[in-house]
């Protein structure tokens, strides 16, 4: 019967055909029949192939066939010179092999992965775990007791759930996990056993290592000086050079549970033991408002192969402090760390500041603001703010030769859109008195552009007649001017040491 049968004229009859195997075109202008797919075009492993295979297995009927195969036995061995010469044989030496071939319906049918019994986990990061499911169905007329073979206990594959019995028509899903420990390809066989059938499942996967880099590199991200209640941000970039997508998350120490081992370090800090050590708190001063000083966005995400992701770190202090700090950790889903970076920042209530010198307090502050008692009236001199600073200098004395001590301070000016001042100036007072004690300051005065710092070198040379172990102490007022006038009362303490470098 032809596929295309036009209707008879003037009768409006529908074309003849099998409605189960044919379909009328949706185009109203044509009444052509759509062809069934050619079996050659159905590729093994495709969805259509899986549906067709499942349909055939479910509708399969038992059959029995016999085959007789004649086996001719030669009278001698083939010659060594010419193996193509026909061998001599006799009909009386012919053996007949009878093959009985019963064909029965398999009791189990794979219904997942288009009927494919290969479960491929593809590429998985070392240390990560991926779970996939494999479903089988009982297509027999009797219940089946399912069992499985044992997987390598030291291998990456594992069967998560237990096997159970399934009734006719019921399905059972095997939950399988793949957790590679090395960078290589893995393959293992798992057998699903029934009394009349063994279904073999091929498990395969590849362990790969993540290749994620951070730019810029380094273990410190310093936000420098900013005005209180202002916001400043910096960016870092993650690049995924791996062959698969990478999931990441960003952690801040201030928003994580405290670690028990930090207790002794904080005690040492509070007992003033930090001066000569490398102990520094991971989390420093926090905002009075209770909000985090440092914040990160986004805190987690996924990066496709060959792609990049920008991470923004924001510094927003709400009061002046030199002790703002935090620790930033970026880790992947397999717990491997891309970076561990210290965050540091300083907030000031005015745009001129003095950087350097010796610490006068421990680097841990109380969140409670200082108690300010209102004064009825302040004089003009009292209105000028004063800040204390300390600089210690040690001159070395070896083999009777004294080498001067040198320290460096920096005077800076904060760039801010909220201030009209674009620069500031500074100068030292009472320089003559300092010179009499052996101190030299360079420069004595100068200007600083907004967003920059200027170095001030302090040199101390012991005067003639200096007594051993004598401590020289003077106060050097440093005045800075910009949006406000601030006086830094810098205490200079100098001594000669035989152990100083």
| pLDDT of 410 over the 80 cut | yes
Highest mean pLDDT among 43-57, 79-93, 165-179, 350-364: 165-179
Q: Do the beta carbons of residue 462 and residue 428 sit within 8 Å?
A: no
Number of residues that this document lists for the chain:
501
* pLDDT confidence band for 17 (50 / 70 / 90): very low
| pLDDT of 250 over the 90 cut | yes
How much is the average pLDDT of 9-30?
A: 44
How much is the average pLDDT of 410-428?
A: 84
More reliable by pLDDT, 289 or 89: 289
| pLDDT of 290 over the 60 cut | yes
Token pair for 102: 């019963």
Torsion of CA 54, 55, 61, 67, to 10 degrees: -60
3-state DSSP: the chain helix, strand, coil percent, rounded to 5? 10, 45, 45
**Beta bridge mates, 494:** 393, 472
Q: What is the pLDDT of residues 166-177, one digit of tens each?
A: 999 999 999 999
How far apart are the C-alpha atoms of 68 and 32, rounded to whole Å? 49
pLDDT score for 34: 57
Q: What is the pLDDT of residues 31-76, one digit of tens each?
A: 555 566 777 777 777 777 778 777 888 888 888 899 999 888 887 7
* pLDDT confidence band for 203 (50 / 70 / 90): very high
* pLDDT confidence band for 416 (50 / 70 / 90): confident
How much is the average pLDDT of 82-89?
A: 74
| pLDDT of 149 over the 50 cut | yes
pLDDT score for 180: 94
pLDDT score for 484: 82
More reliable by pLDDT, 267 or 96: 96
Report the Cα–Cα distance between both ends of the chain, in Å, rounded. 107
Highest mean pLDDT among 334-338, 375-379, 452-456, 479-483: 452-456
How far apart are the C-alpha atoms of 475 and 490, rounded to whole Å? 6
How far apart are the C-alpha atoms of 107 and 198, rounded to whole Å? 10
| pLDDT of 408 over the 90 cut | yes
Q: Do the beta carbons of residue 402 and residue 395 sit within 8 Å?
A: yes
How much is the average pLDDT of 273-299?
A: 76
How far apart are the C-alpha atoms of 395 and 186, rounded to whole Å? 66
- Averaged pLDDT score across all residues of the chain: 81
How far apart are the C-alpha atoms of 243 and 211, rounded to whole Å? 9
For 400, phi then psi, to 5°, come to 75, 5
| pLDDT of 411 over the 90 cut | yes
Give the H/E segment covering residue 54: helix 47-58
């Amino acid at each position: 019967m032809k596929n295309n049968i036009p209707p008879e004229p003037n009768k409006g009859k529908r074309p003849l055909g099998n409605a189960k195997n044919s379909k009328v075109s949706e185009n109203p202008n044509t009444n052509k029949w759509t062809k069934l797919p050619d079996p050659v075009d159905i590729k093994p492993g495709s969805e259509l192939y899986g549906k067709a295979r499942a349909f055939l297995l479910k509708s399969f009927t038992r059959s029995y066939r016999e085959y007789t195969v004649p086996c001719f036995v030669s009278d001698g061995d083939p010659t060594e010179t010419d193996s193509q010469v026909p061998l001599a044989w006799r009909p009386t030496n012919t053996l007949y092999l009878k093959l009985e071939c019963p064909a029965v319906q398999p009791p189990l049918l794979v219904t997942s992965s288009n009927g494919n019994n290969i479960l491929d986990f593809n590429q998985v990061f070392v240390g990560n775990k991926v779970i996939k499911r494999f479903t089988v169905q009982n297509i027999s007329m009797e219940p089946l007791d399912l069992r499985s073979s044992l997987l390598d206990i030291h291998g990456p594959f594992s069967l998560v759930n237990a096997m159970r019995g399934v009734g006719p028509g019921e399905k059972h899903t095997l939950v399988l996990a793949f957790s590679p420990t090395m960078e290589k390809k893995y393959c293992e066989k798992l057998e699903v056993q029934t009394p009349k059938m063994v279904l073999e499942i091929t498990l395969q996967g590849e362990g790969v290592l993540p290749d994620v880099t951070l730019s810029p590199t380094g273990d410190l991200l310093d936000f420098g000086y900013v005005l209180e209640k202002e916001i400043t941000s910096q960016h870092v970039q993650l690049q995924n050079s791996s062959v698969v997508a990478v999931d990441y998350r960003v952690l801040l120490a201030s928003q994580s549970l405290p670690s028990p081992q930090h207790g002794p370090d904080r005690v040492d800090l509070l007992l003033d033991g930090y001066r000569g050590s490398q102990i520094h708190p991971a989390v420093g001063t926090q905002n009075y408002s209770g909000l985090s000083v440092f914040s990160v966005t986004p805190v987690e995400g996924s990066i496709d192969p060959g792609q990049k992701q920008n991470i923004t770190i924001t510094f927003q202090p709400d009061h002046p402090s030199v002790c703002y700090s935090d620790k930033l950790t970026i880790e992947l889903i397999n717990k491997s760390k891309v970076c561990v970076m210290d965050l540091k920042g300083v907030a000031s209530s005015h745009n001129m500041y003095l950087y350097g010198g010796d610490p006068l307090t421990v680097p841990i502050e109380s969140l409670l603001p200082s108690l300010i008692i209102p004064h009825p009236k302040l004089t003009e001199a009292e209105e000028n703010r004063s800040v204390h600073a300390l600089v210690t200098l040690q001159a070395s004395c070896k083999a009777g030769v004294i080498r001067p001590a040198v320290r460096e301070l920096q005077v800076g000016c904060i760039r801010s859109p909220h201030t009209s001042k674009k620069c500031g100036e500074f100068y030292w007072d009472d320089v003559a008195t300092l010179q009499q004690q052996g101190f030299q300051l360079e420069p004595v005065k100068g200007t600083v552009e907004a967003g920059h710092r200027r170095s001030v070198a302090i040199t101390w040379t012991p005067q003639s007649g200096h007594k051993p172990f004598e401590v020289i102490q003077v106060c050097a007022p440093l005045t800075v001017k910009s949006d406000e006038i601030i006086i830094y009362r810098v205490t200079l303490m100098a001594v000669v040491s035989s152990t100083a470098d």
